[in-house]
Every structure is written in C-alpha cells, then in structure tokens.
Amino acid sequence: MEKNMIGNYEVITPLGQGTFGATFLVNKDGKKYALKLFKNEMIRSKNDIKRIEREIEALKKVDHPNVVKYIDDGFHIRGFDKFRYLVMEYTEGEPLSNFIERNKRLTIAQAQRIGLQILEGLKAIHDNGLFHRDLKPDNIFITRLGDVRILDFGLVKLLDASTLTATGVPMGTYAYMAPEQLLDSKNIDYRSDLYSFGAILFHMVTG
C-alpha cells in the first residue's frame, strides 16, 4: 500500500480541522509530529497568504516550553494544487476545553498550575514582539504530564507590522475577547491577551 505523504512526512491520522486548514499526525524518521496543511480554498487573497506566513514566522520566533515548537515548513504539490504546510512538535494529551469538560471544575491547585504556565508562555510571546489575539481553552493543549502548550497562531499580530484586519471587524472568539477587541480588532495590544487569560481562569475555576 502506497504511503500518504506530505513533503517528507508520512501521514498517520487526522488530528483536527480548522478554518484555514487540517492538522495531521505525521511521522518522519520514526518520530511523530503535528502537521498543519492549509486549505487552498481558504486562501483567497494576499492577506490570507500573509496570515499563514505570519503564523509560521511567529512560531519560528518563540522558543519556550509552554508554546508549541516549530519544526519545519514547506509546500506540498498534489496534481495542479500547491499547499502550504507547517510542522510542529507533537505531544499526547488534550485541549484545555476537553480537560475542563471532563473535570467539570478544576481545583485551585490545578488552575494555578495550568494558569502559571499559560502566563509563562504568554510572556515569551509578548517578549518576542507578538500577541496572540485568540487565546481560549481550545488553543491551549495539556499534555499527559500536565504541561501546557499554547497553540494556533493564526490570528497572531506582529507588533511592528501593519495589521491584516480591518478596523471594526472583530477577530477571535467572543467568549474570551476583551471589549476593546470586539469594538476594534486593529488597535489592541498584549493586554487583550491578559483579558483572555482572565476569562480562561474564570472558566477553569467555575466550570
């Protein structure tokens, strides 16, 4: 049976679907990785291409235990189609949203352990001149050892680059977004990430 390959990576199984792409568990040289394949049908403009390249560049910039690690990126040719892909570290575990749903309400000790790691990861993101803009339980991964990885840089903004979103068009997930982000996605900063963190903390301790 012919192997299903993306670049030099053998596809093992799908991990999830997002707006801009699908994520797969892949294997290369006996090691597992998570590969995000961006959908061609979602790339309709130069801004969409910039957003994908921005996500890749953001991951390259941040090297921290609480932020998912960049491994590789490239292009996958299939027939007449050309797909962009991003390879990240893979760890077994689950999104924080599943962890909360399973436990209903986290203990103070659990919330503290997870919360401090989120803040450490956020600090690394902000220290690199970035902010996330879509921090939520679905974008925070809890490994089997209880370690945190911040995921999904699809809406990340480089502080020294012009934004790709129009003023007045909210980008993010409403339940965890700061009021100013709902009003004006263009003119926000790292404090919006801290607001999102507060909403996540509230969700963890109250269920």
Q: Point out the residues that are catalytic.
A: 134
Furthest-apart CA atoms within the chain: distance in Å: 53
Helix or strand (DSSP H, E) at 121: helix 108-127
| Both structure tokens of 108 | 């103070």
b/e map of 65-83 (b: 16 or more CB within 10 Å)?
ebbbbbbebeebeeeeeeb
Reported in sequence order, the residue ranges of 59-115 that DSSP labels E, i.e. its strands, are 70-78, 81-89, 93-95
